[in-house]
Structure 1
């Protein structure tokens, strides 16, 4: 009896330790993703302070995305061979230094260089964090681990971006970067306390690991991620304008609806973590359908505030859930090379974010909300269709095998 109790206590202790570690990893993810997106709301202030045009300041966003897409997977391939605690502390320190340098040395070329470093680190941070979280949680709880880790990303739109924008407007934009440097230092300290040093890396560098993410099926999954995130940010980039058009004279509700959108992400994140582990395919198609319905309703339905509230909750939940199902899908597809698989997925998603925002801007300027809806539904339809084809290709060879 006492041995059974002891084993139970050891199990509880390990689960509590894993939970603390994943929480620290989620906080680091919060810092690095906030570092990426918070700059968007500060571009006018940065341009005025640096004496450059707003168009030129947009390079601070694009250089991050390009670096994440091109350099991130390469860095991740080598990061997987490092001891995870060492890499995570080094990466957190990189964000301390880069954000600190931008805050203290606000020069156009210096900022570009620091943003390129941050972009290269982000996919590796997300990949190593996910691989470590999945190792701690176990294969049977992979969806739970991804959803808990994604809490950090959900918090970006609720806390990170609004807080940085408020500081930039009330004080100076450089203070926001100083805050992010301080938060990165807090993340490094937390990780040093809860992440146990191991003698083994996350994954061993091998030809089979590279082969796992270079096969045709995996590349098609990356294209699905690209299309889904293009759809997400084609619509999300114009959420303020879309809600403003529906609200009309009642635009006093706009700030509240945006906050509710962010908070709804917590619901979507938790539901995706609960159901995707049991049925990833069904959950994925449900999320895409919910997203298509919500965006269509925003554009086509003349809703009162209560109906609009329901639509915004559905949209916010689907938006966040898409992150979870996409990451889980890529992790399972690239098993054996989880770090590189997740990094390639982040790179593909970043390309999707940039493409979706650009196509959304063009379609909205050319055809208004109807054009934006058409572009969003186009990305979603092609993404869902390609996902169906990929699933069919996986099943078909097995069905053709002789008995």
Structure 2
């Protein structure tokens, strides 16, 4: 189902663009709305809060709907949120619209991952999930740089108009290309939430949070790292971010293929590789060539975790795959905030701009230890290395 997966990837591209493009447009938005840059920074937090809250709530609310209907509804809300953001007259209103735009983010990826897994054989599920997340990786290569360029040239509102157009195109693509699905079997919210009584699920989500926090300690401060510690010019940073985005895309593809072959060994390998790569990156920053190579490698190692961890957490609760998969996005955004906060603490403590990279390596190592603990604890139970989820019923009609 390559075209159906492309529809999911297009939606992921739009979601990834709107999540990160605001970071590059903060000075422009702050000036236009007459607020300080730190105040404008709350727009990033508002979106993340929407993701954290919306992921479980909207997934539960849509549990009795066909998955295709849920995907269409979520992308409709996403589109409305971005149109409202483009029209926001001031910062208080924009905080609300960014929150609304973030609400469907986690639920879409949660339901979309299960739909993608249901369209392929069991030995290709991680690859299918990675194809959806490929859109998220491509957003860092094309969507965010182009949105930032357009926003600075034609006004920040134009960037969100383009994102809204992508949302409309995604709705049309999902409507045409995703097969129709049977109505979900009736379930009670209490039964769905019972999955969170399992300690292994919380430990798995903790592994996701710590693992991704290691990436965001670096990603949050990559610009000053490259200019202050690496000696690059400010003009070079945008091209280096494209290089990072290419690394993320490559890592996403590698992670999907590796997880299908051996899920648990791939999880160990990705976290171990990320630990080593970040240590080498920290050492390589003073030399421009090695710094660029290290940045690319960090993108590969970091985003190989995406499909691996998404598949891993779904394997911990196959009967509630949509809910726990959506919860991964909540964990991802908590990791985003946590990584930025912890990385900022090391810089404020006077440890230098490479200190977030060293901290990221430490967090990746902690994530590896947590992964070993959660997989060892369930090895004598059902700790599967291949995904077997309650998949939606598909038919050939569209």
What is the TM-score normalised by the length of structure 2?
A: 0.89
Q: Specify which of 366, 369, 374 is matched with residue 385 of structure 1.
A: 369
Per-residue deviation at 1:269?
1.5
Per-residue deviation at 1:373?
3.2
Per-residue deviation at 1:124?
0.8
Larger radius of gyration: 1
Aligned twin of 2:39: 56
- 2:122 pairs with 1:139: yes
Per-residue Cα deviation, 1:338-376 (whole angstroms, up to 9, x for no partner): 110111111111111101011111212221135323421
Q: Is the 8 A contact 1:242 1:299 kept in 2?
A: no
Aligned twin of 2:140: 157
Aligned twin of 2:378: 394
In structure 2, how many angstroms separate the alpha carbons of the residues matched to 1:26 and 1:235? 25
Aligned twin of 1:148: 131
Q: Is the 8 A contact 2:54 2:105 kept in 1?
A: no
Q: Is the 8 A contact 2:213 2:363 kept in 1?
A: yes
In structure 1, how many angstroms separate the alpha carbons of the residues matched to 2:112 and 2:186? 13
Q: Which runs of 5+ in 1 are unaligned?
A: 1-17, 399-403
Per-residue deviation at 1:137?
1.5
Q: Specify which of 230, 235, 247 is matched with residue 264 of structure 1.
A: 247
SS in 2 for 1:198: coil
In structure 2, how many angstroms separate the alpha carbons of the residues matched to 1:302 and 1:91? 41
Per-residue deviation at 1:196?
2.7
- 2:95 pairs with 1:122: no
SS in 2 for 1:392: helix
Change (3 A) 1:252 1:55: closer
Q: Is the 8 A contact 2:271 2:367 kept in 1?
A: no
SS in 2 for 1:356: helix
Q: Which runs of 5+ in 2 are unaligned?
A: 383-398
SS in 1 for 2:231: helix
Aligned CA-pair RMSD: 2.2
In structure 1, how many angstroms separate the alpha carbons of the residues matched to 2:181 and 2:302? 36
Greater CA deviation, 216-225 or 309-318?
309-318
Q: Is the 8 A contact 1:79 1:128 kept in 2?
A: no
- 2:308 pairs with 1:325: yes
Change (3 A) 1:202 1:160: farther
Q: Is the 8 A contact 2:50 2:102 kept in 1?
A: yes
In structure 2, how many angstroms separate the alpha carbons of the residues matched to 1:222 and 1:302? 31
In structure 2, how many angstroms separate the alpha carbons of the residues matched to 1:259 and 1:88? 29
Greater CA deviation, 281-290 or 204-213?
204-213
Aligned twin of 2:208: 225
Counting only pairs closer than 5 Å after superposition, residues 199-238 of structure 1 correspond to structure 2 as: 199-201=182-184, 204-205=187-188, 207-238=190-221
Q: Is the 8 A contact 1:80 1:204 kept in 2?
A: yes
Q: Is the 8 A contact 1:50 1:107 kept in 2?
A: yes
Change (3 A) 1:388 1:179: same
Change (3 A) 1:184 1:316: same
Q: Is the 8 A contact 1:80 1:128 kept in 2?
A: no
Per-residue deviation at 1:252?
6.5
Aligned twin of 1:274: 257
Per-residue deviation at 1:396?
5.3
Q: Specify which of 47, 51, 55 is matched with residue 68 of structure 1.
A: 51
Per-residue Cα deviation, 1:64-98 (whole angstroms, up to 9, x for no partner): 11222133211112223211222222222212222
In structure 1, how many angstroms separate the alpha carbons of the residues matched to 2:39 and 2:287? 40
In structure 2, how many angstroms separate the alpha carbons of the residues matched to 1:91 and 1:215? 28
- 2:315 pairs with 1:335: no
Q: How many residues align?
A: 382
Greater CA deviation, 206-215 or 41-50?
206-215
Aligned twin of 2:274: 291
